[in-house]
Amino acid sequence: MDIGVHLPQLGRGATRSVLKEFCAEAELLGVHSGWVSDHIAWPTDISSKYPYTDDGSFPAPNTMAWLEPIGTLLFVAAITEKMKLGQTVLIMGYRPPVQTAKLIATLDVLSEGRAILGAGIGWMREEFEVLGMPYDNRGKRADEQLEIFEALFTEDTPSYDGEFYSFPKIKFEPKPVQGRVPVWIGGASEPAYRRTARFGDCFHAAFEPVETVAHEWERVCELTSEAGRNVEDMQLSVRLYLDPASNMRPALSIAGTTEQMIDTMSKWKNIGVDHVLVDITAPGGPSARLEAMQTFMTDVVPNV
């Protein structure tokens, strides 16, 4: 399995020096990919329910510093050489699609082909409203955006005429180095599974128990086959807490002793997971999270 890490993009870690130290160590340890999350502005009053906690509350306070995701990855591209760079996930509806495509293409060019597009539809209505972007039909809008990205990244003179977006024939350069940037689809719903089967290179589950992800993966594979695509070309990724102090929900975490962590990782490997993205929750600030990553990569990962 490949290992990705959530970069110190938020909180006390959201600084140049912390990012530089963390990314340098991640590359030395052989981390496959670095990831960031997408939030731009925090309304003081939020009634929308976060889908990955039992009570619908979002685990981070709205006072937390949160760097913009693509800007952060552009910085990380300049200070790294090997790690792939993705979003877990980029909210399609937060930005106009041509602008988003330009940002992703720029990231791929400046990283020399290391970009991954993690795509999701979002959940916080209030943030859409703050950004002046429509919340309605956000799944259909995301599908159109992915169609637009495909056209912009692969066609010499792309144009688009859809239900929500349209533009005339244009020139869009430079194209991504990879040609087509890999698309990792997040979400826990039938439309997300269908979106993965249609557009995705990887299904990217987040903070769900292994049994749930196993069922979701079966459905994604069914739909991928029905779409006439080769299931063998599809990957499965899961985002989990790396939680040495065992403070988070056990079913959503890699926690406990080294042996317990190895056992947990083996269970995920057994259902077909190709990539594990760890979101490090070790208390003690950036230095503690850096130490947790070092221990995980040296003591746990080689034994799975």
The answer to whether 246 touches 282, Cβ cutoff 8 Å, is no
3-state DSSP: the chain helix, strand, coil percent, rounded to 5? 45, 15, 40
Query: What is the domain count for the chain?
Result: 1
Rounded (10°) angle between helices 97-110 and 69-79: 10
Give Cβ neighbours of residue 133 (< 8 Å, ≥ 6 apart). 93, 94, 95
Q: Which pLDDT tens digit goes with each residue over 72-112?
A: 999 999 999 999 999 999 999 999 999 999 999 999 999 99
CB atoms inside a 10 Å sphere around CB 176: 22
Q: Which of 114, 51, 43 is nearest to 79 (CA)?
A: 114
Q: Does the pLDDT value for residue 260 go beyond 90? A: yes
Structural domain span for residue 230 = 2-303
pLDDT bin (cut points 50, 70, 90) of residue 206 is very high
Q: Kindly list the distances between the CA atom of residue 233 and the CA atoms of 59, 66, 75, 213, 273, in Å, as whole numbers in the listed order.
A: 34, 34, 31, 18, 13
Phi and psi torsions of 85, nearest 5°:
-135, 120
7 touches 35 (CB < 8 A): yes
The mean pLDDT value for 230-253 works out to 97
Gap between the Cα atoms of 90 and 118, Å rounded: 6
Residue 89 pLDDT: 98
Query: Any idea how long the chain is?
Result: 304
Distance (Å) of CA 220 to CA 88, 143, 161, 188, 227: 18, 16, 28, 11, 10
| pLDDT over 90 (residue 281) | yes
- Confirm if 293 and 28 have CB atoms less than 8 A apart: no
Q: For residue 20, what pLDDT is reported? A: 98
β-strand partners of 277: 4, 239
State the DSSP H helix or E strand holding residue 140, giving kind and residue range, or none if neither: helix 138-154
What confidence category does residue 59 fall into, taking pLDDT thresholds of 50, 70 and 90? confident
CB 192 within 8 A of CB 226: no
- The CATH number linked to 76 is 3.20.20.30
Whether the predicted model's global pTM rises above the 0.95 cut: yes
